[in-house]
Amino acid sequence: MLPIAPQPSGIARRHLPTALLGCLMALPALSVEPPPAALAAQTGAPVAAAPAAQTFTDRVIVKYRSTRNATAIDSATLARAQVAGNRAGVRLSPHRARGGGSHVLRLDRRLSSVEARNLADAIRAGDADVEYAEPDQILQIQWLPNDPSFGSQWHYHEATAGLNLPAAWDQSRGSGVTVAVIDTGYRPHADLAANLVAGYDFIADSFVANDGGGRDADAQDPGDWVAANECGGTHSARASSWHGTHVAGTIAAATNNGNGVAGVAPDAKVMPVRVLGKCGGYTSDIADAIVWASGGSVAGVPNTATPARVLNLSLGGGGSCSTTTQNAIAGARSRGTVVVVAAGNSNTDAGGFTPANCAGVVTVASVGRSGARAYYSNTGSVVDVAAPGGDLSAGSSGGVLSTLNSGSSAPGSDNYAWYQGTSMAAPHVAGTVALMLAKNPALTPDQVEAALKSSARAFPAACSGCGSGLVDARAAVDAAGGTAPPPPPPPPVTPTAVAEVENNNTLARAQAIGPNPALVNATIGARSDTDYFRVTLGAGRTLAATLTPPASADYDLYAYNASGVQIASSRLLTGQVDSVSVTHSGSSATTVYLRVVYFSGGTGSRSGRYTLGLSQ
């Protein structure tokens, strides 16, 4: 068992405002608690939470169907978008292509969150070629006031609300696992540097970057301080937060080295990925960082040599999960990466905050030293588990202690500080996931989430809406298994070949497919052709449908419920395999319709043949 790190010297005590502040170019009110202008030690009662300020943005993200391979928007396409811009009183210009038909458009002035959403909706409504349009909102770091002072990392080892780490360290310390901290970057703190691997700075905007340039391989944090009202709207001056350095230290600060603090997964590595700077960070940059850190490819950025198995996102903003963010998360999960996010600090339903409400993430609420819900923590049905995040409302001994920097604007010297917030709870879970994956690398993201939930212990105090329980590192590592080999997969079942029967060009004439599994051999006869198929889906079953087009064609796949309402779709590029999945939770069988639609490429008996695989 590793010893608990001794109380470090030179510890800074930081008092952070609770107001949720807007930001230059930001969109929906963002759940963020930036630091104040002064970093001197402070005492006193916590500041009461304030309502979110108005937020702004000067960008929208637009996904076009017909420009999937284009690197720029043509003048006619831009002109259609400008019609919506004229009504909003802004001029649009191309900013950058994200790939796959997705483009970031810049506005010539900032719009409020409501105005930007209305503009995006108008762009989509005015152009049938637009797959989706949404504001390029800014997400920001999440935490709350930090009244000083306590003397040890109770959040790791105390029996009431601690993580039960010492017992977990007997089995795993995270060796071989990389955790990406998608945040403000890092400072090369002496108690952290040994556990860092190469990251990247994804901030493309020079103002937000605050380091004299755009994207580059230097993920160091130059500071995110702002002057009063610099981010749009009305807010006070704020000093640099060094937020990413604090989060990274919780995950993997150097441990058992006689210096400073310990980390949850001391033998894991941290990949710092910088997406948050002055006033926060854009969704498009954050999404690219999620893709890249998990081992995906981003145009213009060299692939990482150390893909992360865990992503920590201690950031967030108001509103629903954007398509851009959800697609990035889905891609990360497909590469086996677990995505851990903070629930938010607004003392409300986490379902109203992104990425906490995105599908496929592990959303983390916060408890204080008593094990009760921290007064600021968001809750609700999207929350999966809770972890220690600190709660200083009742005194000065309940924060989370980790690595930091003493600079109020530009970097200063190494130090340590107590923070509180769901931003601090999330890295406790990300570090625990690293311990689990080090013991059993074969775990999938779904298996990790299930093990975290099933092994969580009951809350010692009230924490309604905080998920399945309080994360227990020892129990989670036990649940990870890794000693017994998995059972062999069942033998494959050869699907029954089924020939398409025309005319099946309408919902009413959909061709019934009975065998399970089945492989339908069909043809898109002409550009106007569309094929419908009908499947009876049993109670509690999941239908998987896979469309394989000709190599030179692009056909799209849609799924509809028994009433003919679209419930799923897949529209990938030329030659790529589209797939959808439909789960039926009812108690009796239902009907699901599948539709294959022409988009581009060959047609007819020679060039339009495709297969549709169906299984449940």
Rounded distance between C-alpha atoms, residue 185 and residue 188, angstroms: 10
DSSP lists the bridge partners of residue 545 as 580, 614
Q: Which two tokens stand for residue 323?
A: 């398509």
Count CA atoms within 13 Å of residue 314 on its CB side.
40
| DSSP SS3 for 107 | strand
C-alpha R_g of the chain: 25
Question: Taking the mean position of all CA atoms in its chain, how far away is CA 219?
Answer: 19
Distance set, CA 393 to CA 15, 18, 456 (Å): 12, 12, 25
* Helix (H) or strand (E) segment spanning residue 523: strand 518-523
Nearest to 18 by CA among 44, 41, 47, 39: 47
With 0-12 CB in 10 A as exposed, 13-18 as middle and 19+ as buried, what is 409?
middle
Rounded distance between C-alpha atoms, residue 92 and residue 221, angstroms: 31
Rounded distance between C-alpha atoms, residue 227 and residue 24, angstroms: 11
Q: Where are the beta strands (DSSP E) in 390-476?
A: 400-405, 414-419
Rounded distance between C-alpha atoms, residue 18 and residue 236, angstroms: 12
Rounded distance between C-alpha atoms, residue 417 and residue 411, angstroms: 15
Q: Which two tokens stand for residue 544?
A: 């998987």
Q: Which two tokens stand for residue 367?
A: 């408890």
Nearest to 577 by CA among 607, 599, 604, 546: 546
* Helix (H) or strand (E) segment spanning residue 592: strand 590-600
Decide: 226 and 210 in contact? Cβ < 8 Å: no
What single-letter DSSP state applies at residue 193?
G
DSSP lists the bridge partners of residue 583 as 542
| Residues taking part in catalysis | 183, 243, 423
Residue-wise burial string across 447-458, b where 16 or more C-beta atoms lie within 10 A, e elsewhere: bbbebbbebbee
567 conformational bin, left if phi > 0, alpha if psi -120 to 50, beta if neither: alpha
Nearest to 462 by CA among 161, 255, 250: 161
Rounded distance between C-alpha atoms, residue 410 and residue 205, angstroms: 19
| DSSP SS3 for 448 | helix
DSSP lists the bridge partners of residue 144 as 420
Rounded distance between C-alpha atoms, residue 133 and residue 120, angstroms: 5
Q: How wide is the angle at C-alpha 364 spanned by C-alphas 292 and 247, nearest 5°?
A: 60
Count CA atoms within 13 Å of residue 603 on its CB side.
13
